[in-house]
Amino acid sequence: MITIYHNPRCRKSREGLAIVTASNAPYEVVEYLKNELSASQISGLLSKLDMSAIDLVRKGETIWKEQYKGRQLSEQQIIEAMATHPKLIERPIVVKGDKAVVGRPPENIAVLLD
């Protein structure tokens, strides 16, 4: 089963969903802005992505610039920021088994699905 963490208002996320749909593999869509992720869920995704929390943050978001940019934050504090403000999470994230990719560019998803 493939899971895509998706924001339907985001063009790249819609492109990622199209790639997942075209794969004809079973999948589920998690609209993470409606169904917010807990800090432990974000930690689990980071483990599957094999990346640090700061690499998953959308640093251009106003919330990041106004509340977090320039501050010395621990890994856990960054994860908590994403749990509190899900708009900060880069998207889409596609998970297959114990591996995951951020679909930026969307072609990253094809590598996971092969």
Taking the C-alpha atoms of residue 80 and residue 8, their distance in angstroms, rounded to an integer, is 23
Residue 19 pLDDT greater than 90, yes or no: yes
SS3 content of the chain, % helix, strand, coil (to 5): 45, 20, 35
Catalytic residue status for 10: yes
pTM assigned to the model: 0.94
Instruction: Please report, rounded to a whole number, the percentage of residues in the chain having pLDDT higher than 70.
Output: 100
CATH for 2-113, among 3.40.30.10, 1.20.210.10, 3.40.50.880, 3.40.50.720? 3.40.30.10
Residue 114 pLDDT greater than 90, yes or no: no
Domain boundaries, the chain: 2-113
Catalytic annotation, pick one of 1, 5, 10, 52: 10
